[in-house]
């Protein structure tokens, strides 16, 4: 118990400091409410009207995929430092772990959850023809030529 006493004292000091800071700001801070202070804060701009639409679900899917991939990286680093000592069991366990986390990511890619409009414009501008069959499935140069003919 004596070994943990400094940690407990530090934790108590942190809680006390945070609590005293909140209490001091409430007691000592100026109280002059006005319409600008009561308005919701968004980049310093007071909203004039409600937004036309909600955030798309794709936004949340990207955020969750980011968190899942971060967790994956957190577990991959210690594994990479000790994987020789774990042997075949450790390799199989990490392969299953990666499979469980990458299958949902592949699903997100397949349903187009990560296909945003700005990315499509960049791909259309820089990508060359994608040849998966005898004809080009995606050829931005051909599309640009078709648009010039139509104009």
- Tell me what the mean pLDDT of segment 4-12 comes to: 94
pLDDT value, residue 131: 47
Q: 144 or 85: which carries more pLDDT confidence? A: 85
User: Which of 12-21, 30-39, 45-54 ranks highest by mean pLDDT?
Assistant: 12-21
Whole-number Å distance between alpha carbons of 98 and 39 = 45
Return the bridge partners of 138, or none. Answer: 130
- Tell me what the mean pLDDT of segment 46-74 comes to: 77
- Does the domain at 7-115 match CATH 1.20.58.1610? Answer given as yes
| pTM, 2 dp | 0.41
Computed over every residue of the chain, the mean pLDDT equals: 77
Q: In the chain, what are the domain boundaries? A: 7-115
For residue 8, is pLDDT > 50?
Answer: yes
pLDDT, tens digit (0-9, with 9 covering 90-100), for 75-105: 888 888 888 888 899 889 989 998 988 887 7
């Amino acid at each position: 118990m004596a070994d943990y006493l400094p940690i407990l004292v530090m934790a108590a000091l942190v809680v006390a400091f945070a609590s005293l800071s909140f209490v001091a700001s409430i007691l000592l801070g100026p109280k002059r409410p006005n319409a600008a202070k009561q308005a919701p804060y968004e980049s310093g701009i007071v909203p004039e009207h409600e937004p036309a639409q909600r955030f798309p679900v794709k936004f949340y899917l990207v955020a969750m995929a980011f968190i899942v991939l971060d967790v994956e990286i957190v577990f991959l680093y210690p594994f990479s430092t000790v994987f020789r000592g774990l042997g075949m069991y450790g390799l199989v366990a990490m392969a299953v772990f990666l499979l469980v986390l990458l299958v949902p990511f592949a699903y997100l890619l397949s349903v187009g959850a990560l296909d945003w409009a700005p990315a499509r414009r960049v791909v259309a501008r820089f990508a060359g023809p994608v040849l998966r069959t005898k004809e080009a499935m995606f050829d931005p140069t051909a599309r640009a030529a078709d648009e010039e003919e139509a104009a």
